[in-house]
Amino acid sequence: MKKEIGAGLGLAAVVFLGLQGVSQVVPFLILAAILTMLYLMAQGRLMGGRSFATTGSGSAGSLRPIDFDAIGGQQVAKRELKEALDFLRKSDEAAHLGIRPLKGILLVGPPGTGKTLMARAAASYTQSVFLAASGSQFVEMYAGVGAQRIRHIFNQARRQAEQEGRSSAIIFIDEMEVLGGKRGKHASHLEYDQTLNELLVQMDGIAPSERVRLLVIGATNRPDLLDSALLRPGRFDRTVRVDLPDKEGRRHILEIHAQGKPLAPDVDLDELARETYGFSGAHLESLLNEAAILAMRQGDRQIGGRHLREAVDKVLMGEKLDRRPSEAERRRVAYHETGHAFVSELGRPGSVSTVTLSPRGQALGYMRQTPEDDPYLYTQEELEHQIDVCLGGAVAEELFFGSRSTGAMGDFEQAVGLARRMILAGMSSLGIVSEETLPEDHLHQETVRILKGREGYVREVLTAHRPLMDRAAVELLREEKLPGARVRDLLRPPAAEPLGA
């Protein structure tokens, strides 16, 4: 910053002298202006450009070290990554066996699954200098700036490792799809391609004979956008999947983030792990944090089960809203959500976690399901059941009010997506099909046929349970929330009276 201020003051002085008629300074004026513009362009600050700064760990960095034990729910990914990192740790043994050291490792997975934490743990595991940057930091509108920044981070990694007496350095690049996108798609802006080309050149220049061994770790949730030149052997040699955690992984993550938090005796982390299917590690951390905030807000000294259940709803749907629908809207929403709950519970007993009328986010009410197990495959029956649950709300409105509302739009979108999934999986009357060759009108007609068939089935089921639905909706209107256990009680047939009573 001081350099920029000095350059600006010097240029201002030269301009002032030129305006005073000192003709001898005109050449210096032109030279100073050119040098100042070149300097600012090199720094990427001219016309709104950004300065380039990396974050790191170690004596010169701002990130505290982290180890693999502090990362939960990624046992397979950690094992695979450690195996690749052992080539860096045991370089002499690898050289004896003729193993070529890896130059790059790509971490692929949804947002919030711990890819950045894995890269930081890799640096601790190998005792390496760690430098981190985002892919968007390398791309600028000025020619050559991105390539210069690539060279800068590689040189900085080598220099910092030598200063700290380390034998290795890890360069972590997040949002890899921004920097490494397929070439040729930015015809009007070749700076993208030049920046990627420089990264390829720098990775090719990594040699095992260097005093500082470099390893590039990239992270992305869109590997389909990456240029094929990046993914070939000799650059990013390994791809490590960092997926959403399973039930056991969620339990481990909850244990890690629950440390230091006073949990009440009624908290069951196993049950909480079961109810948070589809949550990433970031979601689970946010869940416990929101529960702690709620406990503090209510003046409690411990985090109880009710706080955690409320936090699950908040993470999924958002904060409770102050808006209050009209009584007619509340009645319609109550029957809509009851329809979802009854179809879900009748199709798969024990699946309903809670039904509520509390407005959150864009929803005036919602029904939350609890998965029985973490599914990896779906049968036709399971997909049909999911469609039934989606259609249950609109069909219930039609049964009790004679019409539908716009509240079912999101449900219909999900149902259409599930029907298309069935078709493309060969679970329809069309048999085995290809999405590329299937005419759009055929796909539409088959989707409509599936949805109409499931709609008829849902209408039969809800009509048969109409009196019970009425009781459940009235109770939901009064209490504003029904736990899944109460829904099951309403659906449970009454016990037969003993003979002779």
pLDDT in tens, 278-297: 888 889 999 999 999 999 99
Is the pLDDT at 275 greater than 80, yes or no? yes
98 shares its domain with 227: yes
Q: Residue 298 domain-assigned?
A: yes
289 shares its domain with 356: no
293 shares its domain with 381: no
Q: Residue 501 domain-assigned?
A: no
Helix (H) or strand (E) run with residue 432 in it = none
Confidence of residue 204 (pLDDT cuts 50, 70, 90): confident
pLDDT in tens, 445-472: 999 999 999 999 999 999 999 999 999 9
Helix (H) or strand (E) run with residue 238 in it = strand 236-241
Confidence of residue 325 (pLDDT cuts 50, 70, 90): confident
Q: Residue 304 domain-assigned?
A: yes
Joined together, the tokens standing for residue 475 give 């109770």
Backbone torsions φ then ψ of 33, nearest 5 degrees: -65, -40
Average predicted confidence (pLDDT) for the chain:
82
Confidence of residue 191 (pLDDT cuts 50, 70, 90): low
Report pLDDT for 317. 76
406 shares its domain with 470: yes
Cβ neighbours of 420 (radius 10 Å): 17
276 shares its domain with 184: no
pLDDT in tens, 80-103: 898 888 888 887 787 778 877 788
User: Domain range for residue 36?
Assistant: 2-43
What single DSSP character describes residue 208?
T
201 shares its domain with 306: no
400 shares its domain with 470: yes
467 shares its domain with 381: yes
Q: Residue 369 domain-assigned?
A: yes
- Mutual orientation of helices 440-464 and 409-424 as an angle, nearest 10°? 120
Active site residue 337: yes
Region 131-148 average pLDDT: 77
223 shares its domain with 119: yes
Report pLDDT for 21. 58
Region 417-428 average pLDDT: 94
Report pLDDT for 52. 52
Q: Which of 179, 61, 60, 63 is nearest to 120 (CA)?
A: 63
262 shares its domain with 208: no
Is the pLDDT at 46 greater than 50, yes or no? no
SS3 227: coil
- The long-range contacts involving 475-478, CB below 8 angstroms and separated by at least 24 positions, are 476/334, 476/337, 476/338, 476/355, 476/357, 477/330, 477/331, 477/334, 477/357
User: Are 101 and 234 in contact, with CB atoms under 8 Å apart?
Assistant: no
DSSP result, 293-328: HHHHHTT-SSB-HHHHHHHHHHHHH-SBP-----HH
Beta bridge pairs of residue 354: 368, 483
Using a pLDDT cut of 90, give the percent of the chain over it: 30
Range from 66-75, 162-171, 386-395, 406-415 carrying the lowest mean pLDDT: 66-75
Q: Choose the final residue of a domain: 270, 292, 317.
A: 317
CA atoms of 353 and 370, how far apart (whole Å):
6
What's 174-199 look like in SS3? ECHHHHCECCCCCCCCCHHHHHHHHH
Q: Residue 49 domain-assigned?
A: no
272 shares its domain with 338: no
Range from 175-184, 264-273, 278-287, 383-392 carrying the lowest mean pLDDT: 175-184
Q: Choose the final residue of a domain: 317, 343, 373.
A: 317
Q: Residue 500 domain-assigned?
A: no
Query: Which of 337, 345, 384, 446 is an active site residue?
Result: 337
Q: Residue 360 domain-assigned?
A: yes
Range from 97-111, 174-188, 260-274, 305-319 carrying the lowest mean pLDDT: 174-188
Q: Choose the final residue of a domain: 208, 241, 274.
A: 241
195 shares its domain with 106: yes
Report pLDDT for 90. 80
The enclosing domain of 175 has a CATH number of: 3.40.50.300
Report pLDDT for 50. 47
Q: Residue 108 domain-assigned?
A: yes
Backbone torsions φ then ψ of 415, nearest 5 degrees: -65, -40
CA atoms of 82 and 89, how far apart (whole Å):
10
Report pLDDT for 339. 94
Q: How many CA atoms lie within 13 A of 399 on its CB side?
A: 24
The enclosing domain of 347 has a CATH number of: 1.20.58.760
pLDDT in tens, 22-35: 555 556 556 666 66
User: Are 8 and 14 in contact, with CB atoms under 8 Å apart?
Assistant: no
The enclosing domain of 265 has a CATH number of: 1.10.8.60
Range from 83-97, 111-125, 154-168 carrying the lowest mean pLDDT: 83-97
The number of domains in the chain is 4
